[in-house]
Structure 1
């Protein structure tokens, strides 16, 4: 269900982490909250279970986990001058509970090796609740701390949503057979009441990027505002203060408000940003925050998603400085110009830089207004862009409003589209608006200037609606859900969007350009199943966007960008190929529903749902009949394109005696040529239809199954949603042979 527009509480992180109920062995990186029955012998390494060497997947250094640097909280003496130091204690709120991470710095000042396996750190709350602690994957082999050296060992834990950092107490123990519970407490460190993990505004935080220190700070913060949202831009500066190059991971960037709401920010950076020693790089972060939320006390949080274990690791927290005053920015400001026909008012509505294929598009949306008492003709406008007052980029005029003149009080919108290499960087951009006065002559009318940091697009948080106001093409768009169809080598990822016709007449759904952007900056073009029929006023069409992703690529924290397609100087027609797009907006995607139902009732197949019951099996000497009733319903959408989608019913015997699948094309669900023979009870059905149907049969030929009667105990009937040959399991029910379900 979509959230209400501008609802302030927006869930941003991936779906809540799930934790295994089985506690791993100590050598595998975890110690239970209660001591083991037979603890390891002190100073004797525990042999870990055999492991399989991970495949060489070409992972870059930026795929490794990075670590922030938080304050030291205290020390616990081990022996002599050796000690443990607790530092970098952080906490991140998730959808369910919170994730705690911390670092134990082991300083061995003795003349012999120190084995960390002789020790452990326990975590509890001040009220006495014990919390399971686990080692970070990259530190599970760290045990021997050589003489006169220091080793940092990193841990994580999961706590409930009410636990705060100041509730935590860290106990350090040494395994000791002479003790009743085989352990001896050597000290503890409690988190003090004044402890904070937030870097003050105008200060820096050092991030350890796999052995290279990168000093990170917030350089400045801008924001623009409309009736519904703030559109903040945070400029993050990263300075490599180490002596080796540092690869910046695909971090998640979150804006946290004073009320605790968190909103994702999109990073404008190269896919593989590498910072060389003693070099600064700036990363621009853009997002959207409802105007109902206070701007006081905003924070920036940097998070890294770990693939194993699947947790979100907080890297750094920054207090954002006060927001800059953007009153002088050209957007929304009206300017007058005159020609021999009269006086016009021009307003710059938006200035965008967006990706398209192997280039970037510069796009300015201009509105001309007639505030005079008489009608005015549309001037023959031209224009171009100037980058840093030095580089000229030609601009194509797109007449998005089809009008031949401006009546008194009327207005019309125009777009200027320019193309440039996506790798080219600049600081300022200027749109020079001109009027053509002769065959090769132009006269300059106005200039609109903008900083490159503000060439953003609106970002819609989960559940928000984006409205496009264009003469004859008023519409709204919102994301409904996402689905992954896994494959052997690639995954097909789809986004389901609502497109509502806000016109007062039947209208075509605008042809769109769509692309998905991953956190590392990679852009994946998406295909949209074309809606071929017109949509009635206030009716909603279901758009089906799809793209192919590398197998197993995480889709959390992706966003989808859409824009109205244009070809040459007009909106793209049905048979045209887009060469640009305008009126772009990005949508943060909701978490995917990965639940597999354990029954076959009300299974969601957007825009349909199906219920299957009264399932029965019947066996003869050469046939298996699966009989069932079903009801197929459709949600209230005016139009949808179901090309490539199929419903798959799977049958699988528990002992492997028999399995088969049947596919049913979505396009047949409400085909106009439906006949009774398609669903009559004595036929082997090959099509499903809307409505209720009883005693339909799937018939499979099998000469040998009857000879396995005594091993036929249970079987499963499963429902899959299939797209382009790849399918996702939605529901599965275990059934006894020859019985009839409810």
Structure 2
């Protein structure tokens, strides 16, 4: 008998603890076999006084074995003892009496009893006639009975109603049993495209894990089936290694290639599971597909949402830019993809074909990004390029978007898009004009400046991008080049952000600069700037030409007006405190001091400055600024220095100081072995000028009190000069003793750079013998003494000279000078005549 039960066999479906409770199942108090018009799942057969049998999930799928019916049998044992299954089996037959063999899947053959107070599930399949419908079938429950004819007794029959169907309506959900869990599933979207030979259907299908265990759905197969039972295999690359966690939803994108005649007929999609033992695909659910027509080519300027790897992708095509060449016309077309879903996907392997009027086809290519991603809400642009002959017309042309072929799939058409043609020459405008880029950005050229370097100059374009949209946008990847006197300037162009931001807020702006080096001898009568869009592995695309301009005027500031830096993340002001000329025996230096104030709401790295001085004859000398590091608190101030070594011909009677934001430009040239690397040069952006004259001397302190120098104040008191005598009578030099008070201006958080002073002794006789000593201010330096901050600090300076007596003829008066020292130059800032051998306050 055991052999007889197993002969009617089983196919892979496992009982699920999620589907069935361990509590007793209540048997409905309704009629069983007589309810012909009840659905199959609502009918049951009583096996004994405490156990019932029901049938669910009956579906058809045509395959190599024929038309396969798969269904699940649920046996509920509500008694307190196990139910032996060896005594029962199921028979499938038509209402006309034709019997089909029902086979139990191999994995269920070990289920020989149903434990007390539980439900067991058995999966069967049967090969039926091709014309058999679900409404034709009955499921008869049978028990062995040796007292009955043929040793079998019918316990009851579940009969399909006349309107029975195994399909779920289009867009309606169904919960299918899958392995040990339940998967809620539905068709969410379907559309069709066509080419010359075939139709391509794309289906977005919902898979939602309704159970409590993770489900590996990579074993799921899908088929499109016609009413006449023709079957087409569906490609489902998204399912590879897909695991759906409990309560998680996934949308998978399915695609299938169909004959055009079939695509217009009623269709359904079948989810199935392969039973390896029986070599049968077991249908788990059948879903009616909506009736859809091939989508027309999308009008130019419109966007279409398609699904790729389960995510909605908004797509659109730009104008075809034509460039005449020897072979006809080269064309470049922007194709945009924006992932408007919630998950990133790998950039798909897309193919593009241009179809002109008359259906002549030309392939389009683009640079494919290795391991690229389509990230949520970030637009990606593909630059499509191709070649067409002179006679080809783009009027009524369409671009066909295809999913590229793989080892498992020959690819399919995703959509068709119309385009228009435009000339490759960029639009033009004046310096004050602007142009719209990518429909959501407005690009404006603020200025074109010439920034001097040591032995060359930089051309600098200052550009503002405005986000016209109501959503935050990414920073566009733009660059450009210059044309001087109508000729393109070839060179190494750099683009640098002046704002510290990664996106542009709605209606907000973003500031950047483009610069390149030119010989300082270049004469500029007119200059243009062409805004471009870089293209990977290809020449950049010209977007707009700001043409026919002279270099922009540099704003002139009064010396009391602060220079404001307004860029995001760098807001600050720079105020010119002093500018002087330090004189030396052979050289002289321009020297100035600025106070930088952080105007950001948070601690920030202060903006770097750059500049140069220029005299009335046009002689230019770059200015070097002291380096700053570390963050400055909001409202904090830092004192910095700027200096330049001036040539002897530089006219200090009438000159200008130009300052602006300093942008590092890498030094050029490759050093020889053993030589230092090129020094970085600083390009100036957004410059202003200050008119200066003379040496900037603001007067000399004559009492040696409150001497101002570089953010400090120095006072000398109790000053005494006398001969330095050793062993009672040997004179070794002069001792100058004093007490000093050195304070720092508390207004400044930081004083950048090294500060030095020199104290000089000059005897006031005819010989004017002179001695001096240099000190650093509140910073240690190797080989030099330091004056540290403090009040009434004793200090003795020894001027060693054994011949001093022979150099001095009069011990009445001497002069004490204090110089501010910079490199090998100095500036007198205080001087006082004092008496020998007297302590002067």
Give the TM-score taking structure 1 as reference length. Answer: 0.48
The structure, 1 or 2, with the larger RCO (C-alpha pairs under 8 Å, 6+ apart) is 1
Give the TM-score taking structure 2 as reference length. Answer: 0.43
